Amino acid sequence: MKTILVLIGGSDRDEAIFRTALAAATPLSAHLDFFHVHVSGGAAAKYDNHVQFAMGAGVQNALDHLDAKAKTFSEVATNHVRKFCVASNIEICDAPTNNKNVTASFRKESDTTIERLIFHASQSDFVVMGRAKQKQGLAPGTREYLVRTCGRPVILAASAAPQTLTGTIMVCWKKSDNVARAIAAAMPILTSAKHVVFTNVAKRRKGDIEIMHDLAAQFAKNGISTDVQVIPLKNIATPDLLSVAAEECKADLVVMGAYGQSRFHELVFGSSTETLIRDVDRPILLMH
């Protein structure tokens, strides 16, 4: 049984994250490991402007406010998990079982460091989380750092809850190590898809097209409908072309290699990964 780590904050965005995780878990009969980080006021204050600019008694008031928010987030997260599991008929148990049904567990930790969060992610088969800027006090850049370092595929939920992830899956393909890792990591989900579209934005090089057709043929042997789409380079940024392609094929899931350039390159020229995350409001599976 696969284990999916589901990071939840205790907000109205939890439902879309839960539904995305369930859509990933269903074809795999996976175990959903719901995980909430309770960020105390003192820890959250490191990244809160209200505390940083407060003076005198205002500092304590700001810390008390952050502690109250953290308590609310944790209570809401707990209630959301319980209600979701009851509504979805998911058994809550301490650990994965050998049955063929999706199961779930819930735990929370206080002031979890990013290193601790990466450890939890590395022990799972998949990670599911939101993409919007979080409000619970975690360090800025947590999402990117997690994708870069945990060694596991991370699925970012869209703004709306999906019905499935395995209808049409669009794979953003190019010859690179991180894309190869993304395809390998996504294979349990890809092999459950009804339709897979391999999409490449590049010059029409014969070798690239042949490789894409070879990949498609491998899936076709397993009875999976596949298409190959090569989008010619234009005076339009590659992320924009891929965003349009995802909309046109109505992708239920987009699979892509993440952060293929160095941090310095992305700082100077921008990050294609971040642009796609911002512009493609569909579930995205990332692998560094």
Three-state secondary structure of 207-265: HHHHHHHHHHHHHHHCCCEEEEEEECCECECHHHHHHHHHHHCCCCEEEEECCCCCHHH
Q: Are residues 17 and 88 in the same domain?
A: yes
Q: Is residue 253 part of a domain?
A: yes
8 plus 123 within the same structural domain: yes
Question: In the listed set 156, 182, 198, which residue is the last one of a domain according to the structure?
Answer: 156
* Rg from Cα positions in the chain: 20
> Which domain does 270 fall in, by range?
168-287
Q: Is residue 95 part of a domain?
A: yes
140 shares a domain with 74: yes
CA distance 234 to 175: 19
> 16 with 48, same domain?
yes
Q: Which of 231, 194, 193 is nearest to 212 (CA)?
A: 231
> Do residues 244 and 279 lie in contact, with contact meaning Cβ atoms separated by under 8 Å?
no
Strands 126-129 vs 103-110: parallel, antiparallel or unpaired: unpaired
Q: In CATH, what number is assigned to the domain containing residue 38?
A: 3.40.50.620
Q: In the predicted model, is pLDDT for residue 38 greater than 80? A: yes
Structure tokens at 226: 């596949």
- Decide if pLDDT at 51 tops 70: no
> Which is nearest to 283 in space by CA: 88, 130, 149, 122?
130
Query: Do 26 and 64 reside in the same domain of the chain?
Result: yes
Q: Is residue 162 part of a domain?
A: no
* Exposure letters 31-60 (e unless 16+ CB within 10 A, then b): bbbbbbbbbebebbbeebeebeebeeeeee
- Domain closes at, from 131, 156, 181: 156
pLDDT tier, 199 (very low <50, low <70, confident <90, very high otherwise): very high
Query: Is the pLDDT confidence value at 48 over 70?
Result: no
∠ CA 105-102-226, nearest 5°, is 130
150/172 same-domain check: no
Residue 115 shares a structural domain with residue 23: yes
Q: Which residue has the tokens 């090569």?
A: 230
Domain count for the chain, please give it.
2
The rounded Cα 124 to chain-centroid distance in angstroms is 13
First to last CA, the chain: 24
Q: Are residues 31 and 149 both part of a single domain?
A: yes
DSSP letter assigned to residue 77? H
Q: Lowest-pLDDT range, 43-47, 53-57, 153-157, 212-216?
A: 53-57
Give the list of residues 6+ apart from residue 146 with CB closer than 8 angstroms, or none: 114, 117, 118, 121, 127, 129, 154
> If you write DSSP's letter for every residue of 35-52 in order, what string do you get?
EEEE--HHHHGGG-HHHH
Query: Residue 55: its pLDDT value, please?
Result: 53
**Do 175 and 198 share a structural domain?**
yes
**Looking at the structure, do residues 61 and 101 belong to the same domain, yes or no?**
yes
pLDDT of 134-182, one tens digit each? 666 677 788 988 999 999 999 999 999 999 999 999 999 888 888 999 9
Q: Is residue 88 part of a domain?
A: yes
Q: What is the pLDDT of residue 268?
A: 33
Domain presence at residue 24:
yes
Strand residues in 93-132 grouped as ranges (E): 103-110, 126-129
Whether 270 and 185 map to the same domain: the answer is yes
Question: Is 112 inside any structural domain?
Answer: yes
Structural domain contains residue 244: yes
223: left (phi over 0), alpha (psi -120 to 50) or beta: left
Task: Say whether both 140 and 189 belong to one domain.
Answer: no
Is the residue at 180 inside a domain?
A: yes
Q: Which of 89, 122, 156 is the last residue before a domain boundary?
A: 156
Looking at the chain, the whole-number percentage of residues with pLDDT higher than 70 is 84
Q: Tell me what pLDDT residue 272 has.
A: 82
pLDDT tens figures, 96-147: 777 789 999 999 999 888 888 999 999 999 999 998 766 666 777 889 889 9
